[in-house]
Amino acid sequence: MSYGLCQVFIGFLRPAVNTLLADMTRILLVPLIQILKIIMMLPRTETEITACGLLAAALIGATYLTPLVVMLRAFAKRGEDTRK
């Protein structure tokens, strides 16, 4: 993505332009940034870098997929209850 295009997106996400979109973006990015900050504090040998990468991937996956799985299960359970 070019730098000029990034500036267009950043301008669109400014709270003055679109408060809801800016808040949603912030809510989605804060966990990612916090996970990466934690991973950056860990030691840096070759093996530890690999382990940190796997840990970061697992944490990011769990953080972003858990709410989706919970909602899907709730909807599936709700659908089963209405069929009975």
Domain ranges of the chain: 3-83
3-state secondary structure 32-75: HHHHHHHHHCCCCCHHHHHHHHHHHHHHHHHHHHHHHHHHHHHH
pLDDT band (50, 70, 90) for residue 82: confident
Q: Phi then psi for 69, rounded to 5 degrees?
A: -65, -40
- Percent of the chain at pLDDT > 90 equals 35
pLDDT of residue 3: 61
Span 7-41, pLDDT tens digits: 776 776 666 667 787 788 888 889 999 999 988 89
- The model's pTM: 0.64
CA pseudo-torsion sign 69, 72, 78, 84: negative
